[in-house]
Structure formats: C-alpha cells, structure tokens
Structure 1
Amino acid sequence: MSEDPYDVLGVAKTASAAEIKKAYRKIAKESHPDLHPGDAAAEARFKAAGTAFELLKDPETRARYDRGEIDASGQERPQRRQRYYRDFAEDAGNPYRQGPRYEGFGDEADIFAEFLRRQARQGGGDFSSHAFRARGADAHYALEVPFLTAATGGAMRISLPGGGDLEVKIPKGVADGQTLRLRGKGGPGQGGGATGDAYVTLSVRPHPVFRRAGDDIAMTLPITLDEAVLGAKVEVPTIAGPVKVTVPKGATGGQVLRLRGRGIAAPGRAVGDQLVELKIAMPQEVDDDLARFMEEWRKTHGYDPRKGGKA
C-alpha cells in the first residue's frame, strides 16, 4: 500500500478540501472495523485513511508535505536540515546576501550561522566540502543467457538505453531467475556521491538436449535395438564436449547412466554429475529379416516384462 496520502484517499494532488473530506468519509464508512470484525486489511485501510486525512485537512501541513518538508506521517524529512546547512554556508560566504530566516531552530541556527561565517572568512568562503552529495540511482536490467553459458560461465553484453553497452560476467552455474549485482555500474552520483549499482536478472534459455536438476545435468540418449542387446561404445554430449560412454549389454529403456563430475562446477559447491537416461529407438521400418528373427526368437525365448518372467 502506498504511503502517499493522496494515493491512500484516491484523490489528485489538486483535490479541494471538500473532495478530500468526501473521499475520507467514504473509505472510513466502507472499512470501519465495526463493519469488518477481524478483517486486518480493512482495519489497515481505515487507519491509513485517517492518517492521510489528518495530514491533508490542515492547509499548513498539506502545504509542507507538498513542498517535501515533511513525510506522510508528518515527520520532518532528514534532508531538510542538510538544506539549511547549505543555505547557511552560502550566506556565510557572502556577507552582502540577506540570509533566509529559519523557523524552529532558534539560537541554535544563529550560533551555527555565525560559526560558518567565521569559517568562511578564515578559509576564503570555500564550502565545497559541504556540498550536497547523493548516491547514484541503481539500474535494473534483464538478460537472457544461453543454457551452456549459464552452466560453464562466460561474458555477455547489455545494450544500454542511452547508447553504449555494459559487460556482464556470468559465473559458472548461475540459475534461472538469479540476479547479479554489478557494483558501480549504475547511475552517477551527485556532488561527489558514490555511483549506483546495476542489478541484472538472468533468465536461462532452454537447451534442446540438456536439462538441469540442481547441479546435475540430465539428458535422454537414444540407442538402437542392437546397442541395447549387445552393448556398445557410444558418443554422449556433455556441457564440456562429447565423451565416449559404454552402454551395457542388455540395457533397457529408462535405465540411467551416471557420468560423475560431468555436471555443474560452480565455485564453492561440489561438482555435479550428468545423468544419461537410455531410450531404445526402433528403426523407422522393421524389415522382413528382423521380423522373421524375432518370430523365431519369441518361440523359444519369449518373456513378459510386465510380469517379470517368461510368457
């Protein structure tokens, strides 16, 4: 919920006093705790509306809020005292300037102003060290990362709205939705203030072969009927390049081979494995020779895998 009193009451900043009062009465009537016992959200709206109305019904406090001198709760904003300090400094450095009058500081303001005037006379009136400083704004970006780059690390560039680009170093093993913080790559500071940071939220592009399961890499490997029956040495892709893997004799569809240390190698974590699920792929056409062989084989070696034994 917004803390801005205008937003709370649902009125424009140019609303009249009558419009503000009407908006408050409507919310108070609709959200009164007596009408909504046990409803925390309604009670919160009722209290927020009351606070907003108390601030805006008084023309003086409303004007001070509009000028940014007080916040939504009616408290003095911290930066106000800093602005007084800057005005005093300017006044102290220029003896011909009529300084503004500051309400609410009393003798403290007079003593402080006199101190600054003396400092200005002794030091030539240079108050640059007391200039307003503000940290630069943070920048937020979204970046789509290829699966292999997210797995093994790399570097990419983001095109900036105002021209130019920004290099983003992708650590090994970043996950989908992870946000990287680039220190000092945000907006420039003011008055010598620190530069803001850049936050880059990553989305990992799906891969046609690999899937990620924590720090393990999973994939499905098609094998032929004869490779499943007789066993074979086959080439298997990994995120670091292809390797040779032994398919055991009598392999079955759904069987999983584990390639240790072939998964994600992220800093500070144990290296993951690659999980290779075998899938027996039949030929597109079953020729007569294969059909006759299987017919004869079935007569003497038939079995029912659904029952775990011979037919």
Structure 2
Amino acid sequence: MKDPYLVLGVARTASDDEIKKAYRALARELHPDLNPGDSKAESRFKDISAAYDFLSDTTKRAQFDAGEIDASGTPKRGAWRSRSGARPGAGAGGGFGGFGENVDDILAELFRRKQKGQDQAKAQARAKTRGGDVRHTLTISFLDAAAGGTKRVTLMSGRTVEVRIPPGSTDGQTLRLKGQGHGADDGAIPGDAFIELKVEEHSHFKRRELDVLLDLPVTVQEAVLGGKVPVPTIDGKVMVTVPPGSNSGAVLRLKGKGIAGPHGTRGDQLVTLSVVLPEDADFRALVEKWGPRHGYDPRAKAGIV
C-alpha cells in the first residue's frame, strides 16, 4: 500500500479527527454504490479504506511514523519490535481499527444519495415517455382579446376544452394548457397543449400598447360650435363633448377606456377627430359666398407659405 497519509491527503501531524474527516469525505465521493462500473473509483475506495484502517490503529501508526514498519505493516530490517516491545500489527485496534465507529452515518449518507439518484433516474425515465405537446391556433375578435373571456376549443385528440382568454391578450400570445397534449403509455405524464392567439382586426378600433385608438368623424357644425356626440368604446357607447372650434386631428382622451393591464390598470382611448364636409349644394354655395369676404388662409397661419 502507498503511504497512508498521502492516500488520505493529510499531513503526518494530522489529528485523529482530521484523519477521520478526510476519510469520510473521500468515502462519500468514491463509494462503489455511487460509482457503478467505475473500476478506478472502486480501487481508490479500497485504498482509502485500507489507509484509514492503518492510521486508526495507534500502534501501527506509531511504528510507521518511527520507521519500524512500512505501509503494509511489514517490519523493516532491524526493527522487528516496536518501541513498546510488541510485534508490529499485534496491538489493539487491529483489523478495521477505528473504521467502524463512523460506518452508520457514512452508510446513511450513502443510502440517501443512492435513493436520490434512483428517484432522479425514475423521473428521467418518465420524462422520456412523456406525451408530446400539441399546438393550435385560436382566432378571437379584437373585443374578446381586450375584455377577456372563455372559448371552447376542439383539440386534435377530439377533446373539447374551455380556454380562458386573459383580458388584454395580444396577437401571437401563447396560452399553455397543462396536461392537454398527447397522452403517454405506462402512466407517464401527458404533454401540454399550446394555444396561439390570432386577434382579428377591428373595423374601427386599433391598439397601441394599452391604449385604444379611434378615428371619429364629426360634422362641420359639431367641430365649429362644439357639442356632445356618441363615441363607441370597447365597453359600449359613451357621450363625449367636442370642444368648440375643433379641427381635424384634434385628440380627445377618454381615461380608463383602454385595454386592461397588470394589477387592475387600464389604458385610455384616444379619439382623433376628423371633420367631414357635407355633400350639399347649399353648403358649397355658402362657402363660395363666405370665402371671398374673409381672409382665411390656414397655411399662412401655420407658416408653411
């Protein structure tokens, strides 16, 4: 056997506790149960066990330190008896020496790690037979995406399931239905179903983050004189006041009438006014009569020309 101090990686001045600690650490690492099929680990485990057995015998250790015996316990030439007069190897604590005093907690730790490894192996085996995932596309309206709700979806397996649409859902968002994928044999975990949302465009509304955008046509009278007009929102119609003298492009903000956000917040609805001229001969005649008498030049006012 090699020098037992070198095998355990301790100094010759190491205490019994230090030797014991070094052995226990190596035993946990190299035990054959934790290294199946690893011949090098098995050989190292035998070496550290023999080294610990040797150094746990106080008589053998003293004789080895004094140069009276070698690491195998064989007396060196001219050193047939130890300083105490006893033959080498005949002292108390022979055989396993101090090895047995730590065997319970070492074996308990080894059993725990072995059981953990078996559990991990079982989990990996189940994962290998896990059922496959499936993917579906669900088309929903702009309003359903904004307000949320539930939809029934028929999966490729033929099962019909309820899908909850979260308020504020976006185009391309994917919902996961755990355990609704392909089944697996031998009681393994079934796969999941992934539902990709396709949000249809709305005829009037558009979305910008959590805000809803709407272009609202107004009459000349409403733009010039102001007044209350009905405005559609994702929650239904509301009455909105158009300020007198409003131009096309003016934006009215309806607080809290947008898309639902996190923590109960909501965006706004931004209403952009668009003045629509009447298709009426009398209105044309009125403008022709009014125009020459008034210096009305919006481009000059804006500094464009």
Q: Deviations over 1:208-257 (max 9, x none)?
A: 01000001000110011111111110000000110000111111011111
Cα shift at 1:287: 2.0
- Structure 1: tracts of 5 or more residues without a match: 1-103, 108-129
- Structure 2: tracts of 5 or more residues without a match: 1-35, 40-121
Cα shift at 1:164: 3.2
Distance across 2 between alignment mates of 1:287 and 1:188: 72
User: Does the 8 Å CA contact 1:172/1:267 hold for their aligned counterparts?
Assistant: no
User: Does the 8 Å CA contact 2:251/2:271 hold for their aligned counterparts?
Assistant: yes
User: Does the 8 Å CA contact 2:255/2:267 hold for their aligned counterparts?
Assistant: yes
Alignment partner for residue 191 of structure 2, among 172, 191, 196? 196
Partner of 1:297: 290
Partner of 2:108: none
User: Does the 8 Å CA contact 2:179/2:191 hold for their aligned counterparts?
Assistant: yes
**Larger Rg over CA atoms:** 2
Partner of 2:104: none
Cα shift at 1:269: 6.4
Distance across 2 between alignment mates of 1:309 and 1:135: 68
- SS of 2:138's partner is strand
Q: Deviations over 1:243-286 (max 9, x none)?
A: 000111111011111111000013336310001111111122x2
Cα shift at 1:135: 2.1
Partner of 2:299: 306
TM-score scaled by structure 1? 0.54
- SS of 2:262's partner is coil
Alignment partner for residue 215 of structure 2, among 220, 223, 226? 220
Alignment partner for residue 176 of structure 1, among 171, 191, 200? 171
Letter in 2 for 1:261: G
Distance across 1 between alignment mates of 2:151 and 2:239: 31
- CA distance 1:275–1:156, shift in 2 (3 Å): same
- SS of 1:243's partner is strand
Distance across 1 between alignment mates of 2:266 and 2:246: 27
User: Does the 8 Å CA contact 2:136/2:155 hold for their aligned counterparts?
Assistant: no
Letter in 1 for 2:163: V
Partner of 2:158: 163
How many residues matched?
184
- CA distance 1:293–1:197, shift in 2 (3 Å): same
Q: Percent identity?
A: 47
- SS of 2:299's partner is coil
Cα shift at 1:106: 10
